[in-house]
Amino acid sequence: MPYIKTKSVANVASINIFYQEYGEGIPVIFIHGWPLNHEMWEYQLLELSKHNIRCIAYDRRGFGKSDRPWQGYDYDTLADDLNELITHLNLSKVALIEFSMGGGEVARFIGKYGTEKLSKVAFISSVTPCKMKSAENPEGSTKATIDATIDLITKDRPAFLAGFGKKFYGVDETHQPVSQELLNWNQNLCLMSSAKASIDCVHAFSETDFSKDLQKIDIPVLIIHGDADKIVPISGSGNKTAELIKHAKYLVYKDAPHGLFITEKEKLNTDLLDFLTATV
């Protein structure tokens, strides 16, 4: 199986990062959300790889088939891992497509490394610019919310993930946009993550402010967010990210939940294909 080995930096030891490639053509890296892995992109990888697009998807450290170190789940290290993948594959003019937590990797990568090797970036249901509650983001996470989430993960991670999955896809007593089988699949992907990575990443994506990183983006940007997202509400995320990146194209998916890569997969695939193949 294909792996890259990251460099040892400071007190963060080198690890193996798993990735897969599909198709040939325009290079695109897909960055998954929490607590999933690269397999969440199944419907995008299958479709986009048919259209002259080289789809590259990897598992974040601690998730999927990548190594599970005890540390290194801060965004500086995660951005370094992304840079290692781009360097290993000798990519230039590569597009970055992220989901949710992955927005932090994209933003911090650009904050640290710039856009020289990039062509375009897409933020889908992203946690950017900052998920913490503030006057500017009254719907954001409080310390109490973060602590409660971590407590639930610690006590019974499978039970927490089962409930989280339903909210993720907008499932309730009157609305069933995905099958039980898909929820089971989602649960299996989530349980491939390590508990330590899952907990540390909650701190990372809840407490990190990416506002300054976003303001450094000088390449084409697509922002997609569902207005029924209950995991990362649009008012403090998609709307705020669009305000910080004035030149971005912003698409709001009406009535779409957080997990729109499944519930709106055909529309998402079309919008991503249009964005990736458009000439600048």
What amino acid positions are annotated as catalytic residues? Answer: 100, 229, 258
Burial, 195: exposed, middle or buried (Cβ in 10 Å; 0-12, 13-18, 19+)? middle
- State which amino acid sits at residue 83: N
Q: Are strands 53-58 and 16-22 parallel, antiparallel or unpaired?
A: antiparallel
The torsion angles phi and psi of 117, rounded to 5 degrees, stand at -95, 0
Using CA atoms, how far residue 150 sits from 195, 198, 228, in Å, is: 10, 9, 24
Q: Count CB neighbours of 54 within 10 A.
A: 19
Give yes or no for a contact between 225 and 252, defined as CB atoms under 8 angstroms apart.
Answer: yes
- Cα dist from 130 to 169, 207, 233, whole Å: 22, 7, 11
SS3 at position 19: strand
Concatenated DSSP letters of 144-187: HHHHHHHHHHHHHHHHHHHHHHHHHTT--SS---S-HHHHHHHH
Task: Tell me the CA end-to-end span of the chain in Å, nearest whole number.
Answer: 36
